[in-house]
């Protein structure tokens, strides 16, 4: 299992647009991908759950990757987050 920590830069936080892109990106991998905080982790492939996290600028969150392609998923999301959030 791999883990990724990230602090949101985008002033609008994890709003509908990046949430949608994130969910789409997560769907491209086999591994189980979770996103959230110590208080609550949700399946990154589910937009309702991801939007329901209500993550804001300045907040740190975690993503976990567990499965056959966890290495690729981890690398891909490192790039994705920097570019979109």
> Residues interacting with another protein, by CB under 8 A?
11-12, 15-17, 20, 23-24, 43, 45-49, 51-52, 54, 56
Least distance (Å) between residue 26 CB and another protein: 11
> Cα–Cα distance between 35 and 49 in angstroms, integer?
9
Helix (H) or strand (E) holding 66: strand 60-66
**Active-site annotation, residues:** 15
Least distance (Å) between residue 2 CB and another protein: 22
Give whichever of 16 and 71 is closer to another protein, judged by the CB atom.
16
Give whichever of 37 and 71 is closer to another protein, judged by the CB atom.
37
> Cα–Cα distance between 75 and 69 in angstroms, integer?
10
In the sheet that holds 2-7, the strands lie side by side as 2-7, 60-66, 32-36, 41-43
Least distance (Å) between residue 60 CB and another protein: 15
């Amino acid at each position: 299992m791999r883990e990724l920590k990230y602090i949101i830069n985008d002033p609008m936080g994890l709003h509908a647009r990046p949430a949608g892109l994130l969910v789409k990106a997560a769907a491209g991998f086999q591994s189980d991908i979770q996103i959230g905080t110590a208080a609550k982790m949700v399946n990154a492939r589910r937009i309702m759950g991801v939007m329901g996290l209500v993550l804001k600028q300045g907040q740190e969150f975690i993503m976990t990757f567990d499965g056959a392609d966890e290495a690729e998923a981890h690398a891909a999301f490192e790039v994705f987050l920097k570019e979109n959030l």
